[in-house]
Amino acid sequence: MKPLIAPSILAADFANLEREIKMINESEADWIHVDIMDGVFVPNISMGVPVVEAMNRHAKKPMDVHLMIVNPEKYVEAFHKAGAAVISVHIEACPHLHRNIQQIKALGIKAGVAVNPHTSIELLKDSISDIDLVCLMSVNPGFGGQKFIENTYQKVKELRQLINQRQSSALIEIDGGVNENNAKPLLEAGAKVLVAGNFVFSSANPKEVIKSLKALA
């Protein structure tokens, strides 16, 4: 089965978002990955609900919204109304994770849980059966263009084992530093969704880069 490719709009040209969304629409990408940062949970601020609403007016691919924010439960419904088809919250920001997952699923969309590089996969064992997507951070969240963390391969294998043990249908998404060197090994380890930012948007032909990722088995 082919992987799902989710170009990260954080790496796009913000002065030409409509053009960038159109490029994704015309490509073989499956989702549009949207990073929401609040300057509290992570040391950066990206965009909010109005920008997501504006992108949704042009997007023909589902929007995969990654909430890198504190108190995500306050904003889940607003991002759903703005057009999110998938919403991921950080396990580190959710002391009541099961409640957060159920809140998202009650909206009729996919519920994801994002996991920082230092966070153990073990913490997902009691909720993995309720999760649609696990977003493994392969860089420290907050900034694009960081170097891929090599331990991610081992983490993917551990997560795949947990998913299989619990007979979960959760997809494994990799977010951070994905490129031509690590994409295939990540898929072989058990990943299913590849988020690619700079690798796509800094290339001379973003559509061809997306096509090459999509062709990986």
pLDDT above 80 for 208: yes
Contact 113, 127 (CB under 8 A): yes
Pick the catalytic residue: 35, 38, 64, 132?
35
pLDDT above 90 for 143: no
CATH number assigned to the domain with residue range 4-214, chosen from the 4 options 1.10.287.990, 3.40.50.12780, 3.30.700.30, 3.20.20.70: 3.20.20.70
At 144, is the pLDDT very low, low, confident or very high (cuts 50, 70, 90)?
low
What's the mean per-residue pLDDT of the chain? Answer: 96
User: Which regions of 38-93 does DSSP assign to beta strands (E)?
Assistant: 63-68, 84-90
Is there a catalytic annotation at residue 130? no
Q: What would the mean pLDDT of 166-190 be, rounded to a whole number? A: 97
Is there a catalytic annotation at residue 13? no
Q: What would the mean pLDDT of 69-81 be, rounded to a whole number? A: 98
Contact 210, 30 (CB under 8 A): no
Instruction: Look up the pTM and report it.
Output: 0.96
pLDDT above 70 for 31: yes
At 146, is the pLDDT very low, low, confident or very high (cuts 50, 70, 90)?
confident
Pick the catalytic residue: 30, 64, 132, 175?
175
Side chain identity at 126, as an amino acid letter? D
Q: What would the mean pLDDT of 37-46 be, rounded to a whole number? A: 94
What is the rounded CA–CA span in Å between residue 104 and residue 73? 9
Q: Tokens 């061809």 correspond to what residue?
A: 208
Q: What would the mean pLDDT of 181-207 be, rounded to a whole number? A: 97
Give domain limits for the chain: 4-214
Kindly tell me the sign of the dihedral angle through the C-alpha atoms of 102, 108, 110, 114: negative
**pLDDT tens, 158-172?**
999 999 999 999 999
CA distances from 40 to 34, 69, 81, 89, 141 (A): 18, 7, 23, 14, 12
